[in-house]
Structures are given as structure tokens and as C-alpha cells.
Amino acid sequence: MYISTSILSVEEANSTKIFYNLEEAKTDYFHIDVMDGKFVENDTNNKMLNYCNIIKQISNLPLDIHLMVNDVKQFVEEYIKFEPDIITFHYESCSSDEEVMKLINFVKENNVKVGLSIKPNTPVEKIYKFLPYIYLVLVMTVEPGKGGQSLIPSTLETAKKLREHIDSEKLDTYIEADGGINLDTINDIKNAGIDIAVSGNGIIKSEDYKETIKKLKI
């Protein structure tokens, strides 16, 4: 299990120190939650641009960028300068399958791995046709928009269904899950066949990042 730490809930004041500590605690990725105030209510763009700048100065760890935005192309262009490892956008941001495919290709043309995310109520079958062209599917285990929510149990069934489909089709697409993941829910996440778990408050609000990340990885 890989761990991608969401830095959405990190406060500005101690942010540099916290990023150092997360790297020392062996997070596998920094998960960057970009919100545009349109696709979701919150607008985190300036905060995330600032955090990406800080992280790039102090760390070589990969950035896992999660775009919760309507205008995907504009934000891909804005974050590409940080040379992220993965950029994930939402299926629900697109008005047609052609648009989804265009955006997949656009991210890949910039030499970045691409992820496609689905909200809790989107039927997972809708994204099956894109699986051969993407690096990962990000299954939202809460409604996108804010940190600190409780995991929605039905999303685990979505992840299991996707796992079975990927395995039966012999695809190598990874599955990432995001929202409400902590030491209480990590076992359910593992049982659902997730490869990468995003955790925000579960790590940031814990006493000892190293211990928490170690336990989440087991």
C-alpha cells in the first residue's frame, strides 16, 4: 500500500516544517487538492500553488495532483510547471467521452501520468473504456470538497467492483482512494484492493506521523 498524504488541512504557519516531517515519515507522495470554487464550493488554488512552490524547494518526493475543477486544461497548464508525477481530473468535469479522452491525451503529452476520478454516486462502469489509457482511477470515498469527512461505505463496493474488473481484464491500472482514510478505515481500504491510499487528517492530526504512516502502509 502506498500512502499519499493530503496537505489540504495543513496550516500555513508551520507548513514548511510539516512538509519536512512528512518526508521524513516516509509518505510516498504529497497529495495536492486543487479546488476552483466552481466544481466544488471551496477555492484552494492559491494555497496549493504556494504549497507546491515550498515542496519543490525542499523535497524530491512525487506530487500527486487532484484537480477538483471545471476547466481541467487551464489547471493542468498551471500545475505542469511543478513537474508532478500524477495529475488526476474528474470524469464529472467533462461533458462528453471525447472530452475525457482529449484531456487524458493532453496530460500525457506533457509527460505526466494521468488519473481519472469518480465521485461517490457516479457508476464506475462509465470509466471502464478509459482504463487502458490511464495510470490510475481515483475512487472518491467522500464527496469532494473538504477534508475531515467520514468514509462512505458504498464506495468500498465501487472499489471492489473496479478491482475485479481490472484483474479480469488483465489491466495494470492502479486504484487510488481518497477521503476519510485513517487507522480505523485502512483495513477496509486494503480489503477493497486499493493500491494508493490518500490520507489527510488521519495523518496530519496524528501525534506521530512516522508511526501513523508506518501503520497505514502495513
Give the interface with ligand DX5 as residue ranges (CB under 6 A).
Answer: 6, 8, 31, 33, 66, 142, 144-149, 178-181, 198-202
State the binding partner of 206 from Zn ion, ligand DX5, none, CB within 5 to 8 A by kind: none
Pick what 179 binds: ligand DX5, Zn ion, none; C-beta below 5 to 8 Å, kind-dependent.
ligand DX5
Which position's Cβ is nearest ligand DX5? 200
Q: Which of 170, 91, 174 is nearest to 125 (CA)?
A: 91
Q: How many residues bind Zn ion (CB under 5 A)?
A: 3
Select the span of 9-17, 29-37, 41-49, 150-158 touching Zn ion (CB under 5 A).
29-37
Site for Zn ion (CB under 5 A): which residue of 7, 40, 66, 216? Answer: 66
- DSSP string for residues in 1-12: -EEEEE-TT--S
Known catalytic residue: 64?
no
Q: Smallest distance from the beta carbon of 150 to Zn ion, in angstroms?
A: 15
Compute CA distances 40 → 8, 87, 127, 185, whole Å: 14, 18, 21, 25
CA distances from 136 to 59, 102, 178, 199, 214 (A): 23, 16, 13, 17, 23
DSSP states of 94-130 = -SSHHHHHHHHHHHHHTT-EEEEEE-TTS-GGGGGGG
Active site residue 178: yes
Instruction: Name the phi and psi angles at 193, rounded to 5.
Output: 85, 30
Q: Which is nearer to ligand DX5, 14 or 105 (CB)?
A: 14
Alpha helices in the chain (DSSP H): 15-24, 45-58, 72-79, 97-109, 154-168, 186-191, 201-204, 209-217
Q: One of 28, 36, 64, 178 is an active-site residue; which one?
A: 178
Which does residue 201 touch among ligand DX5, Zn ion, none (CB within 5 to 8 A, set by kind)? ligand DX5
| Of residues 103 and 203, the one with the C-beta less far from ligand DX5 | 203
| Residue 33 interacting with Zn ion (CB under 5 A) | yes
Catalytic residues: 33, 178
Q: Which residues bind Zn ion (CB under 5 A)?
A: 33, 66, 178
